[in-house]
């Protein structure tokens, strides 16, 4: 029986996922990111020190654990790939070339309430750039471009990357006279969930804001623009602070770079805060057109002190694609399909069991040339073998003989063919994914 929050894909869905991953992986490598895989478990103190995640961490325990052994109690499954990556960088700093660019495509586990598009076990595809000591800001402007390229070449709805900068928010809150900026950020981050009126009340209750200060925070959060006009809108609110100016300059660079390279991809959205505590500057969230009500499908940001040895700091910036999240939403709305349920392009028919060796040779010759091929399971009547291919969406049936022939069972066209030379149209070679 199904277990809530732990998805299992059928073969057609899994093929769609694999194509998606191929595109993402290829794009990441085009930008020079190198692959990495880290372990699935981390010490609990590492996992619990990075924000409000303690309720979501899955513990790792052995069924026959020794009562006196403490190690099992101190391990948890990772809930994202950024925290393990930061730990990996610190432990391997002597072996890495900085700035270190890596991508990671792995499962993560998060014990939150499952709902449409939200799972307890899901696949993430991350990129990060980490430096030793100081990370130039231009890497913040590169992140959205990589995601735009990776997802833009897929048959999925258009993505829109919302960007903000925590320095804008924190500087603004400081300029207003609010001291607990982290609490204000966490509260404003709930805007989409609880609405402006309840956010204002919560700011007064938990962050010590006056009604006027709470209203100003909401005015800032309401600002949105596809160009640099957001900076003027912020300045019109009349709040000043050096950190606010620094954040506005950085955010302007991200928005203007994206406008030049990928118009319409990025929008400044000043309500975006991100729930995790380790972000220090630029933050990203991404919406899928038509699926905005389900929230962000990719997210990330700049973190200046997540990876640190005490003596040295390794600042980074990264962004993560919620692969399972995107697919779960699209599968749930039947918005993605694949042209056949198996990779097979050709079924080699078996005239009689004594000829199976000949049929195997034909299949081997076709596979050698990159044509996905299988041999019929039994030497049934040809009509039944064609029916078998049709049920599985296999477009071609090959009949060994003198000479061999191949039949397109969709059109009924049949031609003489040589396994060493015949080639199907490129659109038939592999299953085609359509939105």
The binding site comprises 80-82, 110, 124, 128, 274, 278-279
Instruction: Quote the Cα angle for 313-123-146, to 5°.
Output: 60
Query: What b-and-e string marks burial along 162-193, b requiring 16 or more CB atoms within 10 Å of the CB?
Result: bbbbbbbbbbbbbbbebeebebbbbbbbebee
Residue 148 near residue 262 (C-beta atoms within 8 A): yes
* Binding-site residue ranges for L-histidine: 80-82, 110, 124, 128, 274, 278-279
CA distance 40 to 109: 9
Rg (CA), the chain: 27
Residue 206 near residue 183 (C-beta atoms within 8 A): yes
Instruction: Report the Cα 363 to chain-centroid distance in Å.
Output: 37
Residue spans of beta strands (DSSP E) within 273-340: 282-288, 298-308, 313-322, 337-338
Residue 246 near residue 137 (C-beta atoms within 8 A): no
CA distance 297 to 314: 27
Torsion of CA 47, 53, 54, 55, to 10 degrees: -140
The tokens describing 207, both together, are: 């962050």
- Between the alpha carbon of residue 14 and those of residues 118, 324, 361, the distances in Å are 18, 11, 29
Query: Which DSSP letter does residue 155 get?
Result: S
The tokens describing 191, both together, are: 């805007």
CA distance 227 to 267: 7
Query: Which DSSP letter does residue 298 get?
Result: E
Tell me the DSSP string of 96-144: PPSSEEEEEEEEEE--SPPBTTB-SEEEEEEEEEE-SS---THHHHHHH
Residue 345 near residue 430 (C-beta atoms within 8 A): yes
The tokens describing 6, both together, are: 């732990």
Torsion of CA 391, 396, 399, 402, to 10 degrees: 170
């Amino acid at each position: 029986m199904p277990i809530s929050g732990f998805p299992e894909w059928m073969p057609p869905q899994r093929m769609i996922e694999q194509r998606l991953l191929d595109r993402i992986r290829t794009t990441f490598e085009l930008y020079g990111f190198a692959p990495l895989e880290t372990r699935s478990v981390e010490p609990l103190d590492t996992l619990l020190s990075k924000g409000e995640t303690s309720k979501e961490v899955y513990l790792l325990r052995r069924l026959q654990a020794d009562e006196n052994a403490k190690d099992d109690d101190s391990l948890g499954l990772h809930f994202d790939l950024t925290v393990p990556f930061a730990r990996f960088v610190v432990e391997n700093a002597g072996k890495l070339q900085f700035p270190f660019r890596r991508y990671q495509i792995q499962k993560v586990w998060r014990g939150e309430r499952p709902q449409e598009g939200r799972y307890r076990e899901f696949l993430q595809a991350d990129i990060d750039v980490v430096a030793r000591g100081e990370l130039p800001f231009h890497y913040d402007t590169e992140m959205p471009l990589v995601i735009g390229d990776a997802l833009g070449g897929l048959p999925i709805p258009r993505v829109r990357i919302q960007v903000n900068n925590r320095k804008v928010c924190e500087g603004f809150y400081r300029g207003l006279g609010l001291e607990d900026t982290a609490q204000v950020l966490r509260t404003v981050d709930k805007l989409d969930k609880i609405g402006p009126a309840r956010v204002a009340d919560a700011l007064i209750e938990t962050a010590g804001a006056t009604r006027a200060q709470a209203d100003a925070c909401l005015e800032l959060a309401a600002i949105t623009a596809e160009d640099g006009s957001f900076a003027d809108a912020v300045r019109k609110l009349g709040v000043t602070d050096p950190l606010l100016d620094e954040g506005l300059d950085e955010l302007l660079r991200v928005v203007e770079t994206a406008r030049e390279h990928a118009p319409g991809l990025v929008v400044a959205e000043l309500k975006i805060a991100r729930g995790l505590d380790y972000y220090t500057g630029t933050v990203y969230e991404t919406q899928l057109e038509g699926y905005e009500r389900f929230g962000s499908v990719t997210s990330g940001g700049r973190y200046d002190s997540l990876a640190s040895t005490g003596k040295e700091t390794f600042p980074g910036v990264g962004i993560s694609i919620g692969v399972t999240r995107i697919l779960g939403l699209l599968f749930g709305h039947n918005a993605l399909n694949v042209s056949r349920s198996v990779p097979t392009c050709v079924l080699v028919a078996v005239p009689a069991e004594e000829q199976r060796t000949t049929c195997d040779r034909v299949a081997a010759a076709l596979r050698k040339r990159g044509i996905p091929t299988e041999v019929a399971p039994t030497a049934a009547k040809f009509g039944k073998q064609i029916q078998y291919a049709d049920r599985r969406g296999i477009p071609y049936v090959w009949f060994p003989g003198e000479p061999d022939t191949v039949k397109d069972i969709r059109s009924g066209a049949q031609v003489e063919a040589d396994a060493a030379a015949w080639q199907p149209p490129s659109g038939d070679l592999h299953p085609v994914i359509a939105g």
